[in-house]
């Protein structure tokens, strides 16, 4: 196999948006004729079945940071790709430690930021000294990179302000959300009984069941919505809050119209059959799932969280935007959208900047590896 020019290093690979994004980018780079390796540390990674056979999948054996650092150092010495890109905090740190050991100017290290780092830090670090220490460490880390990528203008502005990074150092590049096979996946059958023809309207949320997605507010908004109409709520994803959400649904009296199917390998078919998609997040970067809902023509409502939804929805042109954490406003926006859903073709316009073709070409240009 031809030595890779791009190494996507993501041993922290999971079943969320970052993992899917890296698989899409690997496929896109390969389609442009750029040899690409996806480095993980599990053979059974999510979305692996979508990886193009031309992409080299490298499985490291290390189960701690030190072991992964040693494996990456060995791999880079043997293969010398032009670019190494990471997209998770732990992976960033490992990669830059290797960079400092290698001291090879021929290998450029890019950090990709997929969330509003400052907004997330304010919510996750309770004490001022913890926030200060995290910010200090992140500033040192990012200063060592050869390039920084943000997936929205809001995330870039947040990063620049939070870490005092000059804006010109940050490349704002679109997420590679709309892959060529998306429309084919949309037509796959769905066996969930609520999504069969003739059923009640289904409201859908999707993402890791954690604090950032603020699904409790979505449940409270849905409980308000259901007072006035018969409907159901599905949330696709898995995470630590699953039992908490089930308990809250019972408390709100909506347990019979609420379901958590877990992780779904093909969420697009689910999204296409939903009556409404809702993004209830407290913080994001550029939420793929919102783009995916629009790409399949499903109406969407989103919180005005930092950052991404306002940009994707063009200041509310393609869908209603409400304040984060406001269940009443969210319920009202959901009801208004169900009463008057925008045409599917109109919604698909919003997703067109986020095609795999557009995104992968923009990344390669930023790497200095542009192909005709």
Q: Tens digit of pLDDT for each residue in 184-205?
A: 899 999 999 999 999 999 999 9
Taking alpha carbons only, the member of 279, 197, 275, 261 closest to residue 229 is 275
Cα distances from 290 to residues 127, 228, 240, 294, 348, in angstroms, run 32, 26, 22, 6, 11
CA angle 37, 178, 30 (to 5 degrees): 25
Give pLDDT, residue 1. Answer: 55
Structure-block tokens of residue 353: 């900047």
**Helices first, then strands: H and E counts in the chain:** 15, 13
Least confident of 48-57, 104-113, 195-204: 48-57
Residue 347 has pLDDT above 90, yes or no: yes
Give pLDDT, residue 315. Answer: 96
What percent of the chain has pLDDT above 90? 83
- Which domains are seen in the chain, by residue range? 6-176+356-367 (3.40.50.2000), 182-354 (3.40.50.2000)
Task: Give the pLDDT mean for 27-48.
Answer: 88
Give pLDDT, residue 2. Answer: 67
pLDDT in tens, 1-21: 566 799 999 998 776 778 889
Question: Quick one: CA dihedral 159, 161, 166, 171, positive or negative?
Answer: positive
pTM (two decimals): 0.88
Least confident of 46-50, 57-61, 207-211: 46-50
Give pLDDT, residue 269. Answer: 96
Residue position matching structure tokens 């804006």? 167
Give pLDDT, residue 8. Answer: 97
Residue 246 has pLDDT above 60, yes or no: yes
Give pLDDT, residue 117. Answer: 79
Give pLDDT, residue 215. Answer: 98
pLDDT in tens, 287-335: 999 999 999 999 999 999 999 999 999 999 999 999 999 999 999 999 9
For strand 232-236 and strand 258-262, is the pairing parallel, antiparallel, or unpaired? parallel
Residue 371 has pLDDT above 70, yes or no: no
d(CA 52, CA 36): 10
Indicate the average pLDDT of the chain.
93
**For 347, what's the count of Cα atoms within 13 Å in the CB-facing half-sphere?**
22
pLDDT in tens, 205-229: 999 999 999 999 999 999 999 999 9
What percent of the chain has pLDDT above 70? 98
Least confident of 15-29, 80-94, 136-150, 274-288: 15-29
Give pLDDT, residue 15. Answer: 65
């Amino acid at each position: 196999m031809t030595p890779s020019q791009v190494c996507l290093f993501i041993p922290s690979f999971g079943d969320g948006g970052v993992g899917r994004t890296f698989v899409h980018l690997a496929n896109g780079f390969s389609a442009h004729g750029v040899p690409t390796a996806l480095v993980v540390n599990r053979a059974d990674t999510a979305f692996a079945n979508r990886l193009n056979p031309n992409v080299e999948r490298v499985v490291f054996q290390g189960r701690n940071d030190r072991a992964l650092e040693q494996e990456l150092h060995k791999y880079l010495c043997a293969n010398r790709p032009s670019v190494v890109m990471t997209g998770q905090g732990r992976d960033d740190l490992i990669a830059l430690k290797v960079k400092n050991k290698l001291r090879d100017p021929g290998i450029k290290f890019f950090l990709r930021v997929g969330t509003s780092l400052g907004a997330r830090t304010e919510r996750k670090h309770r004490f001022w000294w913890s926030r200060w220490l995290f910010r200090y460490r992140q500033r040192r880390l990012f200063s060592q990179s050869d390039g920084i990528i943000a997936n929205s203008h809001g995330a870039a502005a947040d990063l620049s302000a939070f870490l005092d990074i000059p804006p010109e150092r940050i490349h704002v590049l679109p997420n590679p959300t709309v892959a060529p096979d998306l429309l084919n996946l949309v037509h796959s059958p769905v066996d969930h009984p609520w999504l069969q023809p003739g059923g009640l309207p289904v409201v859908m949320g999707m993402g890791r069941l954690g604090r950032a997605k603020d699904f409790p507010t979505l449940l409270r908004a849905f409980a308000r919505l259901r007072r006035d109409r018969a409907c159901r709520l599905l949330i696709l994803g898995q995470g630590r809050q699953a039992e908490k959400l089930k308990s809250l649904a019972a408390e709100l009296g909506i347990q019979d119209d609420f379901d958590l199917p877990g992780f779904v390998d093909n969420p697009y078919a689910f999204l296409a059959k939903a009556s409404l998609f809702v993004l209830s997040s407290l913080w994001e970067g550029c939420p793929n799932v919102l783009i995916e809902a629009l790409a399949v023509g499903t109406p969407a409502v989103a919180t005005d969280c930092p950052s991404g939804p306002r940009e994707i929805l063009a200041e509310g042109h393609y869908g209603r935007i409400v304040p984060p954490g406001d269940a009443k406003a969210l319920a009202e926006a959901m009801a208004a959208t169900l009463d008057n859903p925008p045409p599917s073709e109109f919604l698909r316009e919003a997703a067109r900047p986020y095609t795999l073709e557009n995104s992968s070409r923009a990344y390669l240009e930023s790497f200095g590896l542009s192909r005709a």
